[in-house]
Each structure stands twice: as structure tokens, then as C-alpha cells.
């Protein structure tokens, strides 16, 4: 995926995924690429407005992500375990909302969000590396370097976000991708294996998907009002269910969920993801 943000392959990639590029270098190319992408993927539907708003959303989330990560990193470096633990899960939510973008931008996801054994031990860094130290060892010792790397990775992500090009196909499928993230690792409790704060990621992924749905809603209403309503209803249902697990400003730990809870959450998620996966209908055949 690294190659995606090098200008040379931009043209080829433009119609496939969200692609990062440098605006300065590729101004002319970009216009051409957009035209191709729009014709090929979007058909007659013009989603330029939604695409632009989504890009702005990504940047806004990223800005907050830096601010919160900085606080988290400072707590880790100060050895303030309690504060670090408190900040850990809420900070990650900014990332989880826009995960598909980050994943499309090369190595950011493994650097920021890899779990143990996702990558070779020597390369393991990011949030989960620090999570393990905080919760398993109840210590921040030896974490300074990881903390600094994390902040610089997050800043690099932000810099690249500036140049990201949101393509209509990616926008439409990104919502389902976010729910697939929940399905594969959050609802199973595999994401936050030490802190058990999986529900924070769960909620953030759902919020990210909802953002996309809201941006596409006007178009969807015109194209398939029943589908639009069904998706809206099922978001409401899932949100209502998640509401039950609120605790203070955050959410209960995954360990407090019974099997019947995770099963019900998972089934509601599937019920939402199915119609959500039909949003591509606005792109035509």
C-alpha cells in the first residue's frame, strides 16, 4: 500500500481506493484522475460534496487525535500510569472513527494500531505496545521511546491526511469496512486484550460508519428511500443497545459483557451491515 501515496502511481490508483497524493506536485494529474474516477465509479451521481466533507471530517478527527495522543504520551512519559490508563481508550476513538483512511495510507495502521503478533516483535510499537506495559506490568518503564514514536506516527498520518483524495467507491464501502472491523475484532474482545476497553473502539467504528451514512443520506434518500430508512432505523437500534453499556463518560469493560450480550450486539451489527452494504446502489451498476 505504500506505493499509493507516491505520485507516480496515483493515476492508476485513483479510481480504486482513497489515495493520498501531494497536491502541489500533481495538481494537473489530479483533475484528470478525478474525472476518470468519477466516470468509472460514480456514474451519473455526483458525490463530490460528500467526498469533500468526509475528507474534512478525517482531518478534523486527526487534529483531535494529535491533541489527545499528546496528552496520553505525556502521561506515559511522566510515569503517570493512572492518567495514561484513563486517556488510552478515549484517545484511540479518534483513530478508530477514520480507520479505513489510515489503512489506505500505507504503514500507518501497523505502526499505530498493531496488536502483539500482528507484526514481528522487533517492529511492534504503537498503542497496543504501550497498552500491554500499562495493564500487564502496570508500568510505563521503557515506554518513552514508544511514546515518542507514537506521537510522531500520528503527526505523520495527519500530514498525509491533508493530501488524501476521497473516492466515491471508497466512501461507500468504507462504512461497511468500519463495521467489519467491529465484527472481526471488537465484538470478540480481541482488540484490547489487556485494557479490555474494546467497547470504546466498537462505538468509534460505528460512529465513523454513521458519519459516512449521514453524508450519503441525501443521495440515498433520492435513490432508495426504503434502504435509507432501514439503515437509519438499524443505526438507532444498535446505538440504543450500546447505550446500555455506558459507564460514566465511557463504556464498561469487555469482561463485563456476557455471551448473550456480545451475541446480541454482533447480531445487531450484522443486521445493520447488511443494508449498509447496499449503499453502493447510489453508484449505479
Which region among 28-36, 135-143, 197-205, 268-276 touches other proteins (by CB under 8 A)? Answer: 268-276
Q: Which of 34, 64, 230, 262 binds other proteins (CB under 8 A)?
A: 230
Give the total residue count for the chain.
285
Query: Which three three-digit cell numbers place residue 236?
Result: 438507532
Query: In the bound complex, what is the minimum distance in angstroms from residue 234's beta carbon to other proteins?
Result: 6
- Residue linked to cell 446480541: 264
* DSSP designation for 247: E
Q: Which of 41, 143, 182, 257 binds other proteins (CB under 8 A)?
A: 41
Q: Which of 26, 133, 169, 219 binds other proteins (CB under 8 A)?
A: 169
Within positions 94 to 153, which residues make up the interface with other proteins, using CB under 8 A?
A: none
Which region among 24-32, 135-143, 215-223, 275-283 touches other proteins (by CB under 8 A)? Answer: 275-283
Q: Does 64 bind other proteins (CB under 8 A)?
A: no
Q: Does 184 bind other proteins (CB under 8 A)?
A: no
Query: Which three three-digit cell numbers place residue 171?
Result: 466512501
Answer yes or no: are the C-beta atoms of 43 and 280 closer than 8 Å. Answer: no
Q: Does 280 bind other proteins (CB under 8 A)?
A: yes
- Host H or E run for residue 136: helix 127-136
What's the CA gap between 228 and 235, in Å, rounded? 11
Which region among 20-28, 52-60, 249-257, 277-285 touches other proteins (by CB under 8 A)? Answer: 277-285
Query: Which three three-digit cell numbers place residue 239?
Result: 446505538
Query: In the bound complex, what is the minimum distance in angstroms from residue 134's beta carbon to other proteins?
Result: 33
Answer yes or no: are the C-beta atoms of 253 and 197 closer than 8 Å. Answer: yes
Q: Does 267 bind other proteins (CB under 8 A)?
A: yes
Secondary structure (3-state) at 37: helix
Cβ closest to other proteins, residue 97 vs residue 234: 234
Cβ closest to other proteins, residue 122 vs residue 285: 285
Q: How many C-beta neighbours within 10 Å does residue 28 have?
A: 8
Query: In the bound complex, what is the minimum distance in angstroms from residue 41's beta carbon to other proteins?
Result: 8
Cβ closest to other proteins, residue 150 vs residue 170: 170
Q: Does 51 bind other proteins (CB under 8 A)?
A: no
Angle, helices 144-161 vs 48-77, to 10°: value is 160
Query: Which three three-digit cell numbers place residue 161?
Result: 491526511
CA atoms within 13 A on the CB side of 38: 14
Q: Does 281 bind other proteins (CB under 8 A)?
A: yes
Q: Does 278 bind other proteins (CB under 8 A)?
A: yes
Answer yes or no: are the C-beta atoms of 154 and 170 closer than 8 Å. Answer: no
Answer yes or no: are the C-beta atoms of 94 and 68 closer than 8 Å. Answer: yes
Query: In the bound complex, what is the minimum distance in angstroms from residue 213's beta carbon to other proteins?
Result: 15
Q: Write out the residues near other proteins by the rule CB under 8 A.
A: 41, 169, 172, 230, 234, 267, 270-272, 274-275, 277-278, 280-281, 283-285
Amino acid at each position: 500500500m505504500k506505493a499509493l501515496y507516491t505520485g507516480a502511481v496515483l493515476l492508476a490508483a485513483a479510481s480504486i481506493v482513497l489515495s493520498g497524493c501531494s497536491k502541489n506536485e500533481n495538481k494537473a494529474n489530479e483533475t484528470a484522475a478525478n474525472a476518470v474516477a468519477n466516470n468509472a465509479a460514480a456514474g451519473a451521481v455526483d458525490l463530490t460534496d460528500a467526498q469533500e466533507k468526509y475528507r474534512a471530517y478525517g482531518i478534523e478527527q486527526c487534529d483531535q487525535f494529535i491533541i489527545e495522543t499528546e496528552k496520553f504520551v505525556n502521561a506515559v512519559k511522566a510515569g503517570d500510569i493512572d492518567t495514561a490508563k484513563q486517556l488510552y481508550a478515549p484517545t484511540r476513538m479518534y483513530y478508530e472513527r477514520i480507520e479505513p483512511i489510515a489503512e489506505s495510507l500505507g504503514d500507518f495502521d501497523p505502526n499505530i494500531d498493531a496488536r502483539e503478533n500482528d507484526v514481528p516483535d522487533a517492529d511492534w510499537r504503537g498503542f497496543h505496545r504501550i497498552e500491554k506495559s500499562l495493564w500487564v506490568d502496570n508500568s510505563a518503564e521503557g515506554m518513552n521511546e514508544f511514546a515518542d514514536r507514537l506521537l510522531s506516527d500520528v503527526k505523520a498520518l495527519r500530514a498525509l491526511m491533508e493530501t488524501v483524495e476521497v473516492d466515491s467507491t471508497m466512501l461507500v464501502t468504507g462504512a461497511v469496512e468500519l463495521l467489519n472491523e467491529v465484527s472481526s475484532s471488537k465484538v470478540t474482545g480481541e482488540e484490547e486484550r489487556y485494557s479490555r476497553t474494546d467497547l470504546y473502539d466498537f462505538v468509534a467504528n460505528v460512529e465513523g460508519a454513521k458519519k459516512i451514512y449521514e453524508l450519503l443520506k441525501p443521495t440515498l434518500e433520492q435513490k432508495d428511500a426504503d434502504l435509507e430508512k432501514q439503515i437509519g432505523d438499524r443505526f438507532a437500534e444498535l446505538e440504543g443497545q450500546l447505550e446500555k453499556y455506558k459507564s460514566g463518560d465511557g463504556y464498561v469493560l469487555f469482561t463485563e459483557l456476557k455471551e448473550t450480550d456480545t451475541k446480541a450486539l454482533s447480531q445487531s451489527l450484522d443486521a445493520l451491515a447488511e443494508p449498509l452494504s447496499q449503499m453502493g446502489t447510489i453508484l449505479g451498476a
